[in-house]
Amino acid sequence: MHRTRRLRARTPVLLLLLSLAACDRGGGSAGIARPEQMEVNIISGKGMHLPVRDPATPPSDPGLTPEPVVARVSLTPEAGATGGADATGPGRLRLPPVEIHWRVLEPWCSAEHTVTPVRNDTASNFYHRPTRAFVCHLVAEGVLDGRVFGADTTVASFDAGPAVTFQPASLLLLGLDDEFPVSRLVRGPLDFYGNPTLLPPFTAILTSGAPVLAIEDDTMLVSGLAEGSGNMRVTVGARTADIPVWVLRQMRTHWWHVSWECYGLQLSGGAYADSAHYRLDAGETSVGAFSLAGMHVGMRGTLTTRTWVRGEPVRETSAVTTRYVSQRPGGLAWHNGEPAAATGVAERYDGGNLCEPPPGGGGWTRHAPARAVRGDSIPPELLVRR
């Protein structure tokens, strides 16, 4: 009888303890967030804009970015409906010990850490500044017991460093009374690692060519009214290059007469040609490719050939054909490489041998220099029908 009363006296205390334990198991103040109740967000270091690695950085220096990328682990809105990660009280869920796994998406990028523990609710990492000027994506993944429960991605843009070199043009071509921005001579500026850069500081001076060439307002290269050549010296960073400049008259703005004479040719069958006179009336002139050999010009028109074969009357033939020249300052080269020099103000070019023997024949014994004469208009009878 005495023992029964003692048990009954303890019953309310046991019921109270069991009730508290049940509350704790149901997600009370000591509740631990599950993976699906957490998320990861990058809260600092998004959208960084930085230069590439400094070339003077020693190999032992990791070359880290000055600003960290910070990822935060927090409760999802649903899990935090009764109180966020910083809330207090019986409804607060606690974050379990989680890690942030970091990975970059581009092969030219890397980060200081691949795994960092979350302390309080954040973890941070740093980029290794790359040598390639491009963008780098860094992914932060929240991991609990090997399971990824959330991720966020940030991007950093790395700009090229100062220009140390450029790609000079092999030759600059101008027409008469023409102009060209000096800044356009700085083609393809590159930094120490070969990354393209924006227009860098440069110097450009005209070392030869006056008065055919001149620089106006330190910004514009201008040409005069005569053919000629000069040299521009351009410096970008550690690179200095000399760029030849040509000034050419446009041959396509006029029609041309081209003539040449050939003498003494042994023909097959024993015949002998005393001479042949050629005249090309070019009613159409076209400009083609440009190279170090010069500006390639085609002269298309009617070629008239008058041939004197010993013992026979003169033979005259006509055909539409094209002859090609490569124009250079003060001269040109015919299609066979024979040079001709300009006379006067380039209204006439003299020189070169255009005598070509027929198939199976011998060579001409002598020739008169070829001559190209510019006209001011095209006579109707010389127009070429297309």
| pLDDT level of residue 1 (50, 70, 90 thresholds) | very low
Reported as a single tens digit per residue, the pLDDT across 101-144 is 999 999 999 999 999 999 999 999 999 999 999 999 999 999 99
| pLDDT level of residue 274 (50, 70, 90 thresholds) | very high
Predicted pLDDT of residue 360: 63
Residue 88 has pLDDT above 90, yes or no: no
Predicted pLDDT of residue 81: 63
Predicted pLDDT of residue 277: 97
What SS3 string covers the chain? Answer: CHHHHHHHHHHHHHHHHHHHHHHHHCCCCCCECCHHHEEEEEEECCCEEEECCCCCCCCCCCCECCCCEEEEEEECCCCCCCCCCCCCCCCCCECCCCEEEEEECCCCCEECCCEEECECCEEEECEECCCCCCEEEEEEEEEECCEEEEEEEEEEEEECCCCCECCCCCCEEEECCCEEEHHHHCCCCECCCCCECCCCCCEEEEEECCCCEEEECCCEEEECCCCEEEEEEEEECCEEEEEEEEEECCHHHCCEEEEEEEEEEECHHHCEEEEEEEEEEEEEEEEEEEECCEEEEEEEEEEEEEEEECCCCCEEEEEEEEEEEEEECCEEEECCCCEEEEECCCCEEECCCCCCCCCCCCCCCEEEEEEEEECCCCCHHHCCCC
Find the mean pLDDT for residues 60-86.
82
| pLDDT level of residue 376 (50, 70, 90 thresholds) | low
Predicted pLDDT of residue 19: 37
Task: Name the residue with higher pLDDT: 380 or 170.
Answer: 170
Residue 348 has pLDDT above 80, yes or no: yes
Q: Whole-model pTM?
A: 0.68
Residue 89 has pLDDT above 60, yes or no: no
Task: Name the average pLDDT for the chain.
Answer: 86
